Amino acid sequence: MFLVWHVIIKAMKLNLFGRKKIAQEIQDDIFRKMTTDRKIRLGSQLWLLAKELTKEKGFYGNNRSKTTVGKGR
């Protein structure tokens, strides 16, 4: 998770100096300077974070049992 926060802080610092950049420009600057290994580690950490967030939220997919199809929430 450290790498995720490091990237977020770096993005915030990039926006404090010079002209304001759009999010895509900031993201491009960060990822251009990163090694492939760091990109892969960051991607896997973000995937794990997203997995944890969806676990807490619950599953609201389309695969429901026949008893719940047609019933309101």
Break the chain into its structural domains and give their ranges. 2-56
The whole-angstrom separation of Cα 20 and Cα 7 is 18
What the block records as the tokens of 30 is 């960060």
pTM attached to this predicted model: 0.46
Mean pLDDT of each 10-residue bin along the chain, 73 residues long: 70 63 85 91 90 74 59 56
pLDDT at residue 23 in the model: 84
The whole-angstrom separation of Cα 54 and Cα 61 is 11
